[in-house]
Structure 1
Amino acid sequence: MLSMQQFETVVNLAPLISIDFIVRNSKNKILLGRRINKPAKDFLFTIGGRIYKNEKIENAKTRILNDELNLEFKDLNPKFIGIFAHFYKDSFCDDNISTHYVNFAYEIDISYMQNLPKNQHNDYVWLSLDELLNSEEVHQYVKNYFTNSNCNIK
C-alpha cells in the first residue's frame, strides 16, 4: 500500500484507474450519492472507486460494491457500459493538483438496498433519468454516461 505522500505523487503525475457503477432500481431510477471528498465534492455522483495496483478488475468490482454499497458481487451481473476519462482541476489532497481518472463504467440492476455506507457519500438519492440530466447537483461526468453516443446505456 502506498503512503499518503506517494499517493499524492501518483495523483500528480499519472492517471488513476477506477470503476463506477450505474445502479438502477426496478422503477428505472438511478442511485447517486453526494460526494464527501474531492474531487467532485458535494456533487451527486455514481458509486465507485479506484482499482489498486496488482488488483484484478473482478476483485476491484467485488471490493468496491461491498465497500460502497454493502452488496455482494456474486449476486449481480454488471453490464459493461464503456470507458470514460474524467479530468478534475483539484484532487483529494490539494486544490492545485489535478486528478485524471480512466474510468470503467458498469450498470447494475438492484431491487432492494439498505444501510448504505456514509464514508464516501453523506446522502443518497434515486433519480429518474430526466431528473438526473436536468439537475445542477449531478456532476457532468455522471450525465455523460447517459448522453455519450459511444455509451451502451439506455
Structure 2
Amino acid sequence: MNELQTTEKGWLSDDAFGQVVANTPLVSLDFVVTNPLGEWLLGQRQNRPAQGYWFVPGGRVRKNETLTAAAWRLTANELGRPQSLANMSFLGVYEHFYADSMFASDLTTHYVVLAYQFGLSLELDSLPRHQHNRYRWWAPQINCEHASVHPNTRAYLPAVSALTSTSLV
C-alpha cells in the first residue's frame, strides 16, 4: 500500500490531498457570525472553490481533530479570535457541491458541512486576509437575494431565522 505524503505540519501533500478531494467528501465547519444588529459576517473568497463569492467563515476538520478543537482553530484562523463550540448554536448538516476545487477548475469538491451560529462584535479591518480579501456585515434579507453571496451561504438563512424566532419566544 502506498503511504500518503505529508508536510511537516501534518497536512497531506498537495498531490495526496488532490486525490482525497477527487475521491471523497470533506468534513467542514461553517460559522454564521452575527453582530448585535443581526447582520452576518461575510468575506469575499479569494480561493477556489467559491472564489469571488461572499461566504461565511469556516474550514475543514483535520483527521483526529475533535469538532471542539476544529472550531477553536478555525475561528482563530478565520476571525483572529478563537471561539468555543459550546457557545455556538448548531444549525444543521449541509452538503456543498462545487464544480471546482482548490487544485483545479475541473476537479469537483464535495463537503459535508456542520453549520453553527454565534454572535460576535468584530472590527472588519482586523480580520485575517488569507481566505477572504474583503469583509462586510450583511443584513440577512439582503444576503438572501444578492447574486454575489454564494447559494451555500444563503442556504443557512432558514435555520438562522428559525433560531432567531425561537430565541424571541
**Interval of TM-score (by shorter of Structure 1 and Structure 2):** over 0.9
Superposed displacement of residue 65, structure 1: 0.3
Superposed displacement of residue 7, structure 1: 0.3
State the distance in 1 between where 2:55 and 2:93 align.
16
Choose from 145, 150, 158 the match for 1:139: 150
State the distance in 2 between where 1:111 and 1:29 align.
11
Mapped contact 2:92–2:115 kept (Cα < 8 A): yes
Give unmatched runs, 5+ long, in structure 1.
Answer: none
State the distance in 2 between where 1:77 and 1:141 align.
23
SS at structure 2 position matched to 1:118: coil
Match of 1:15 in 2: 25
Q: Which has the higher contact order (CA 8 A, sep 6+)?
A: 1
Match of 2:127 in 1: 116
1:99-131 per-position Cα deviation (integer Å, ceiling 9, x unaligned): 000000000101334510000000001011111
State the distance in 2 between where 1:15 and 1:121 align.
23
State the distance in 1 between where 2:115 and 2:162 align.
10
SS at structure 2 position matched to 1:54: coil
1 or 2, which has the higher helix percentage?
2
Q: Which runs of 4+ in 1 moved over 2 A?
A: 111-114, 151-154
Mapped contact 2:42–2:56 kept (Cα < 8 A): yes
Report the identity percentage.
36
Match of 1:25 in 2: 35
State the distance in 1 between where 2:19 and 2:103 align.
10
Match of 1:127 in 2: 138
CA RMSD of aligned residues (A): 1.9
TM-score of the pair, normalised by structure 2:
0.85
| CA distance 1:60–1:93, shift in 2 (3 Å) | same
Give unmatched runs, 5+ long, in structure 2.
Answer: 1-10, 165-169
TM-score of the pair, normalised by structure 1:
0.93
Mapped contact 2:27–2:112 kept (Cα < 8 A): yes
Match of 2:51 in 1: 41
| Of 73-82 and 137-146, the range deviating more from structure 2 | 73-82
Count of matched residue positions in the alignment of Structure 1 and Structure 2: 153
Match of 2:116 in 1: 106
- Which of structures 1 and 2 has the bigger CA Rg? 2
State the distance in 2 between where 1:96 and 1:142 align.
22
Mapped contact 2:93–2:113 kept (Cα < 8 A): yes
Mapped contact 1:145–1:153 kept (Cα < 8 A): no
Does 2:96 align with 1:79? Answer: no
